[in-house]
Amino acid sequence: MFVGDGLLTAQGYRSGDLDIPAGVALRAGVPAVLVLITPAICALMFGLRARRLGMRAGAIPALVGLVVAAISLMFNALPLALGM
Protein backbone atom coordinates (compact mmCIF):
# COMPACT_ATOMS: atom_id res chain seq x y z
CA MET A 1 0.00 0.00 0.00
CA PHE A 2 2.83 2.39 0.84
CA VAL A 3 4.55 1.72 -2.48
CA GLY A 4 1.42 2.35 -4.55
CA ASP A 5 0.34 5.43 -2.62
CA GLY A 6 3.87 6.79 -2.61
CA LEU A 7 4.24 6.41 -6.35
CA LEU A 8 0.80 7.91 -6.90
CA THR A 9 1.64 10.88 -4.71
CA ALA A 10 4.97 11.34 -6.47
CA GLN A 11 3.03 11.74 -9.73
CA GLY A 12 0.82 14.45 -8.23
CA TYR A 13 -2.34 12.46 -7.41
CA ARG A 14 -3.97 11.29 -4.19
CA SER A 15 -5.17 7.74 -3.63
CA GLY A 16 -8.80 8.83 -3.27
CA ASP A 17 -8.94 10.82 -6.52
CA LEU A 18 -11.51 9.64 -9.05
CA ASP A 19 -9.86 11.15 -12.14
CA ILE A 20 -6.58 9.21 -12.15
CA PRO A 21 -5.55 8.32 -15.72
CA ALA A 22 -4.89 4.66 -16.48
CA GLY A 23 -1.21 5.27 -17.26
CA VAL A 24 -0.63 6.90 -13.89
CA ALA A 25 -2.48 4.08 -12.14
CA LEU A 26 -0.36 1.49 -13.94
CA ARG A 27 2.91 3.29 -13.11
CA ALA A 28 1.93 3.24 -9.44
CA GLY A 29 0.12 -0.09 -9.38
CA VAL A 30 2.52 -2.43 -11.18
CA PRO A 31 5.44 -1.96 -8.74
CA ALA A 32 3.03 -2.17 -5.80
CA VAL A 33 1.56 -5.44 -7.05
CA LEU A 34 5.05 -6.84 -7.68
CA VAL A 35 5.95 -6.09 -4.06
CA LEU A 36 2.70 -7.72 -2.97
CA ILE A 37 3.15 -10.98 -4.89
CA THR A 38 6.91 -11.45 -4.39
CA PRO A 39 6.52 -13.71 -1.31
CA ALA A 40 3.93 -15.84 -3.12
CA ILE A 41 6.18 -16.21 -6.17
CA CYS A 42 9.09 -17.19 -3.91
CA ALA A 43 6.92 -19.84 -2.23
CA LEU A 44 5.96 -21.15 -5.68
CA MET A 45 9.55 -21.28 -6.92
CA PHE A 46 11.03 -22.87 -3.80
CA GLY A 47 8.13 -25.30 -3.49
CA LEU A 48 8.63 -26.46 -7.07
CA ARG A 49 12.38 -26.74 -6.49
CA ALA A 50 11.81 -28.89 -3.40
CA ARG A 51 9.38 -31.06 -5.36
CA ARG A 52 11.90 -31.46 -8.16
CA LEU A 53 14.57 -32.50 -5.62
CA GLY A 54 12.37 -35.24 -4.22
CA MET A 55 10.47 -33.56 -1.38
CA ARG A 56 6.84 -34.35 -2.16
CA ALA A 57 5.69 -31.87 0.51
CA GLY A 58 7.08 -29.03 -1.64
CA ALA A 59 3.88 -29.13 -3.66
CA ILE A 60 1.94 -27.53 -0.78
CA PRO A 61 3.83 -24.21 -0.63
CA ALA A 62 3.98 -24.18 -4.42
CA LEU A 63 0.21 -24.52 -4.66
CA VAL A 64 -0.40 -21.93 -1.93
CA GLY A 65 2.02 -19.51 -3.62
CA LEU A 66 0.30 -19.97 -6.96
CA VAL A 67 -3.18 -19.42 -5.52
CA VAL A 68 -2.16 -16.38 -3.45
CA ALA A 69 -0.37 -14.77 -6.41
CA ALA A 70 -3.32 -15.38 -8.74
CA ILE A 71 -5.87 -14.01 -6.27
CA SER A 72 -3.71 -10.96 -5.53
CA LEU A 73 -3.34 -10.21 -9.23
CA MET A 74 -7.05 -10.67 -9.82
CA PHE A 75 -8.12 -8.43 -6.93
CA ASN A 76 -5.72 -5.69 -8.01
CA ALA A 77 -6.39 -5.82 -11.75
CA LEU A 78 -10.16 -6.18 -11.57
CA PRO A 79 -10.93 -2.60 -10.47
CA LEU A 80 -8.76 -1.21 -13.28
CA ALA A 81 -10.42 -3.49 -15.84
CA LEU A 82 -13.90 -2.58 -14.63
CA GLY A 83 -13.09 1.13 -14.50
CA MET A 84 -13.65 1.48 -10.76
- For 41-68, what is each residue's pLDDT tens digit? 999 999 999 999 999 999 999 999 999 9
- The answer as to whether 9 is a domain residue is no
Q: Provide the number of structural domains found in the chain.
A: 1
Give the range of the structural domain holding residue 65, as residue numbers without chain letter.
36-84
- φ/ψ of 18, rounded to 5, equals -95, -15
Which one-letter amino acid corresponds to residue 19? D
DSSP letter string over 51-82?
A: HHTT-GGGHHHHHHHHHHHHHHHHHHHHHHHH
Please tell me the pTM assigned to this model.
0.74
Is residue 33 over pLDDT 80?
Answer: yes
- The answer as to whether 51 is a domain residue is yes
